[in-house]
Amino acid sequence: MKAPNTWGGCLDAILLESNMKALDNPFRDGISLDFAPACNPDDRSLAGNIVIEKITPTPPGSAIATIISPLTPDVVVDQKIQVRLSVCDKGAYAVKVAEFEF
């Protein structure tokens, strides 16, 4: 039985095989562009990092329409999922860029 595809495999391909491997973090000299689980203003080392979060809809009638969670390497990506892409600004605050289906 074939193991399911996970976000970790996609992330490795992005960081090692795509043009992204040559990009530097614009806020940190000599540091490569990287992904983080979340932006946090208490940790300025996150400035310039990319954050991808999974958006999970809740059942109809729920008080909260969606649940936002980090897209961790173990998340199975064998079906379409909604994701939100953000970038941590120079203060390590999240700047939402887009929401899309992956």
User: 3-12 pLDDT, tens per residue?
Assistant: 678 999 999 9
Tokens at 76, concatenated:
């199975």
The answer to whether position 62 is within a domain reads yes
Residue 14 three-state SS:
helix
pLDDT tens per residue, the chain (102 residues)?
A: 666 789 999 999 988 899 988 899 999 888 888 999 999 999 999 999 999 999 999 999 999 999 999 999 999 998 999 999 999 999 999 999 999 998
The answer to whether position 1 is within a domain reads no
The answer to whether position 64 is within a domain reads yes
pLDDT given for residue 2 in this prediction: 65
C-alpha distances out from residue 18 to 82, 92, 101, Å? 22, 25, 20
Q: How many domains does the chain have?
A: 1
14-37 b/e (C-beta count within 10 Å ≥ 16 → b): beeeeeeeeeebebbeeeebebbe
The answer to whether position 36 is within a domain reads yes
